[in-house]
Amino acid sequence: MVKHFDPTCPKCKQAFHVHHEDLRNAGVKLLCPYCGERFHVEEADSILEHDGRRWKPGAGARAGQ
Amino acid sequence: MSRLKLEQRQDESLSTHDLRDFIARVEKEGPGELLRIRDEVRPDGFEVTAILANLEERGRYPMVLFERPLNLLGEVSAFPLLTNVYASRTRCAMALGLTPQQHRLDLSMEYSRREARRLAPLALEREAAPVKQVVKTGLQIDLRELPIVRHHKMDPAPYIDMTPVMRDPDQGQYNIAFLRNMYKGPRRLGIHMSPRHNWQICRKYEERNLPTPVVIVVSHHPAFYLGALNVSPFGVDDYELVGSMMGQPLRLVPSETWGKDFMVPADAEMVIEGEIPPGVREVEGPFGEFPGTYGPQRLRWVIDVKALTHRRDAIYQDVFVGHRDNWVLGAIPKEGTLFNRIKGVVPTVKAVHLPNSGTGRFNCYISIDKKVDGESKQAALIALGECDFVKNVFVVDADIDPFDEEQVMWAFATRVQADQDVDIIKNVKGNTLEPSQNDDILTTKMIIDATKPVRRTFASRVEVPKEVREKFRVERYL
Ligand SMILES: [Zn+2]
């Protein structure tokens, strides 16, 4: 499987799979498949990285960059 | 340019070109193979896949015709929705003009025979083409009128999951592939491509800063779609190969957008014509994919829809991706090819099957009438080398039916010592959507040799004397 990370939507708080190479650092808004919210990676409620680390973008250092 | 001929020999095993005759044959000859649902259902609200999943839970895999699906505007669609067509090998056999009983190796071998042939397409005048009965272009088009299916919970939108066709700008051959198309707007779709044939064609147009013409064949006879899954190399004209698969020339008609420069299937129920603008990428997915797991959201191409043409009473078609509908489709084209390749080296090969439990791709069961130790390993290595989807190969003796998974697992249980009969091959090219793979490209393959050794004694299988069994046939008691 290609590497993916799982951001949690800031609006509906549900997580989904996103292709790491395509979208981790592309600066493009992600699309929440559950509620349709569009948000930047940094705006995610939390992120589960492909290596299993979970972090909250609003809470401090930007991991996985 | 694809070769067009006005006259061709027609295969009598298939008397028609279209989907509705296939549906009629299934209804007549395959009791229980067609389920008609007359209730209103919302395909974009998971209601179609909910019914399919509930049928699956009961071990039922009929082709389902939803007669009153709602479209994306919430109205009863003008187009009935047909799905789960390929979820039974019996129906796939019927699609190729075989009897329902010929659904096992006969079906794979017939596919293989037809795949090796080509049949030049036939050009029709516009007036004779059923797919031109209704033509919409520009602002007349509203994809929301279609009963597009949203399949799984993490899918962000309804998806058309049938076959986009592209045409190589250099050599002119047409390529057909199952690719997912995300609904994005009344005249806009997303499209996902892996680095295969259509991706190569699109790349050529993009390098020239040109839009890529694309035609989505939304609904046609199932032999069209079985042919679309061929494993032929780049450069083969899929319209010619599909003609061979259908047993008669594929009838074509000029597209609305490009005229004779891009021909479209005249007997399709519905086609969508569009262009992929160069250099444009948008988020697309996630999407519940063939392994039964989600592929992640990606940055992918888009399609600007230019024309929608269809029969007056067109039937819209869908594949229940990630389920048996998708798996049987994947297995059939590979089994016949693998059988032929293995037979060239191990002439005693009896059958090859890619079971639904391996998504019709990842697991491969091969039976051989082994004469020499080591032949089993040869057969397995050919299967692994021939098809990069194949991950785990089980080789069994000729007394085991590879189409009967219980028998295969019995051989695995009673004829395998893991330290002697299992081989692990690391760092082989795999498939990016296979979820256990922890590298983008590389995977680990496995050979399980569940055959008995030739050069030493081995416990025989129990048997009830045949002559006594024949005296006591159960028909007397049932
Ligand atoms: Zn959301």
Which range marks the domain in which residue A8 is found? 4-55
Asked whether the predicted pLDDT for residue A65 surpasses 90, the reply is no
Reported ipTM: 0.92
Query: By the CB < 8 Å criterion, does A59 face chain B?
Result: no
Backbone angles phi, psi at B451, to 5 degrees: -95, 155
Query: A57 to chain B nearest CA, in Å?
Result: 20
Query: B296: which chain A residues are within 8 Å (Cβ-Cβ)?
Result: 2, 4, 17-20
Does residue A60 sit within a domain?
no
Could you give the CA distance from residue B207 to residue B209 in angstroms, rounded to a whole number?
A: 5
Summarize pLDDT for A11-63 with one digit per residue, the tens. 999 999 999 999 999 999 999 999 999 999 999 999 999 999 999 997 544 44
Question: How many domains does chain A contain in total?
Answer: 1
The reported pLDDT for the residue numbered B16 is 52
CATH H superfamily, domain B344-450: UbiD C-terminal domain-like (3.40.1670.10)
Q: Is A30 close to B283, i.e. CB distance below 8 A?
A: yes
pLDDT band at B405 (very low <50, low <70, confident <90, very high): very high
CATH 2.30.110.10 fits B5-324, yes or no: yes
Tell how far the Cα of B54 is from the centroid of ligand 1, in angstroms. 27
CB B94 within 8 Å of CB B25: yes
Q: How far is the CA of B291 from the centre of ligand 1 (A)?
A: 25
Domain ranges of chain B: 5-324, 344-450
Confidence of residue B29 (pLDDT cuts 50, 70, 90): confident
Phi, psi of B69 (to 5 degrees): -75, 150
Nearest CA in chain B to A24: B298
Percent with pLDDT over 90 in chain B: 87
Query: Inter-chain contact B298–A19, Cβ cutoff 8 Å?
Result: yes
B residues 279-318 lying closer than 8 A (beta carbon) to A: 283, 285-286, 293-299
DSSP assigned state of B273: E
Question: CA of A58, closest CA in chain B: separation in Å?
Answer: 22
A63 is a domain residue: no
Residue B390: predicted pLDDT: 96
| pLDDT tens per residue across span B152-166 | 999 999 999 999 999
B115 part of contact set with chain A, CB < 8 Å:
no
Q: Which of B283, B429, B439, B441 to mutate against chain A (most A CBs within 10 Å)?
A: B283
Nearest to B117 by CA among B227, B5, B265: B227
In a domain? residue A15: yes
Threshold 0.90, pTM exceeds: yes
| A22 and chain B in contact, CB less than 8 A | yes
**Residue B81, pLDDT score:** 98
> What are the chain B neighbours of A25 within 8 Å (beta carbons)?
none
Tell me whether residue A26 is in a domain. Answer: yes
Cα gap B123→B105, rounded to integer Å: 34
Assigned domain for A20 exists: yes
